[in-house]
Amino acid sequence: MRKSLMAAGAVLALAAGPALAQQDKPIKIGFVSTFSGPTAVIGNDMRNAFELALDHLGRKMGGRPVEVIYEDDMQKPDIGKQKTEKLLQSDKVDFIAGYIWSNVLLASLKPVIDSQTFLISANAGPSQIAGELCSPFFFSTSWQNDQTPQAVGEYMNQKGVKSVYLIGPNYAAGKDMLSGLASTFKGKVLGQDLTKWPDQLDFSAELSKARAANPEAVFVFYPGASGVQFLTQYAQAGLKDKIPLYTAFTVDELSLPLQKELALGVPGAQQWVHDLPNEANKKFVADYRKKYPGLRPTYYGAQAYDAAQLINSAVVAVKGDLTKKDAMRDEMRKVNFNSVRGSYKYGNNHIPIQNFYLQDVVKGEDKDFALSLKTVATIVKDSQDRFHGKCPMKW
């Protein structure tokens, strides 16, 4: 009897050995973003927020330590793909997250999906991945590119705008943004320009064409430094007081200190604004500002924070056993964490179904900053992207 018990104990010990060993092994997350050049401020904000989320999680997921490997895509699709492949093949990461730019994400997608590694986009949302390129290994904690400008289009309808001129950069997200606006705007689109990306910072020709078209409004999508330049040139051309400007991703907490009062009276839409009243968001904003003095989180950071929380929910559900990929996917589909945007759910393509808010720039509401963004109203509730019907996934 004693020998049988000893044998049984030995078998249990052997079975438990790998599990115990795995608990000591760190969960490795690759994070691809832009950490050099003019748009590095966006990547830095995403990294800051991801690190804050890890702090809030005690730097562990499912009882296992977490190691994050940050890679700079230099805002170039070929570099992003190289860094992604390096994370998969050399670093052997368990998850990949990040990605600001849609063209970088599209270039990097296939090797991640082929390796059956979960990819969580914390920003980029190209229409192709929402539709025919959707995958059980892809999740977004942001939006599909069209959704935000679609909300702007709805707001313009509410304002009674009858005609618009569209301007944006000539890459995947720029095309999605302009088509997204056009899909909900009920007035007439008088014309559009797609400019060279990311090098073009002189918009005088496009502004002249917009002026000649004589629209009731101009809609523009330019993130980062391009957005600062566009607002500056829009005012210098004498258009700010003549043709109302509507934007997506052009005015945020990173660009405001440079845009200054040029951003006043330029409305936009977002699924996250810093003053959303849920408790998770209040803690996120307060702790971000405490951890990074002189900085405020943006929607880029909020989405990266949620990406860490989404990954953690999956790891906790399987108690750190990352071989249980079906169970991890099932858990991520539940959105079983407190998102800083408030509650949301996933469509069949793993793109959030969520609210979008009107944001505006105001003075005097933040003692540390001259200008800040404020939630004005809810434009649309439970927005679902318009490409989910092209995604063959059913669950």
Query: Which pLDDT tens digit goes with each residue over 324-339?
Result: 999 999 999 999 999 9
Percentage above 70 pLDDT, the chain: 94
Range 70-81 average pLDDT: 98
Averaged confidence pLDDT in the chain: 95
Cβ atoms < 10 Å from Cβ of 378: 11
Judged by phi (left if over 0) then psi (alpha if -120 to 50, else beta), residue 191 lies in left
Q: What is the pLDDT of residue 12?
A: 56
**In terms of pLDDT, which residue wins out, 17 or 122?**
122
Q: What is the pLDDT of residue 24?
A: 80
Of the pLDDT bands very low, low, confident and very high (cuts 50, 70, 90), residue 10 is: low
pLDDT tops 90 at residue 107: yes
pLDDT tops 70 at residue 288: yes
pLDDT tops 60 at residue 186: yes
pLDDT tops 50 at residue 18: no
Structure-token pair, residue 22: 């795995």
pLDDT tops 60 at residue 126: yes
pLDDT tops 50 at residue 106: yes
Range 79-91 average pLDDT: 98
Q: What is the pLDDT of residue 196?
A: 96
- Nearest by Cα to 288 from 39, 46, 28: 46
Range 102-126 average pLDDT: 98
| Alpha helices (H) in the chain, listed in sequence order | 2-24, 40-56, 77-89, 102-114, 127-130, 147-158, 172-184, 204-213, 225-236, 256-259, 279-291, 299-317, 325-333
Percentage above 90 pLDDT, the chain: 93
**Please, what are the domains in the chain?**
10-143+276-353 (3.40.50.2300), 147-270 (3.40.50.2300)
SS3 call for 137: coil
pLDDT tops 60 at residue 13: no
- Nearest by Cα to 301 from 122, 104, 35, 74: 122
- Nearest by Cα to 252 from 211, 298, 219: 298
CB contact at 8 A, 300 and 45: yes
pTM of the complete model: 0.93
Looking up tokens 């906790």 gives 316
**In terms of pLDDT, which residue wins out, 31 or 367?**
31
Range 61-72 average pLDDT: 98
CB contact at 8 A, 108 and 80: yes
Q: What is the pLDDT of residue 86?
A: 98
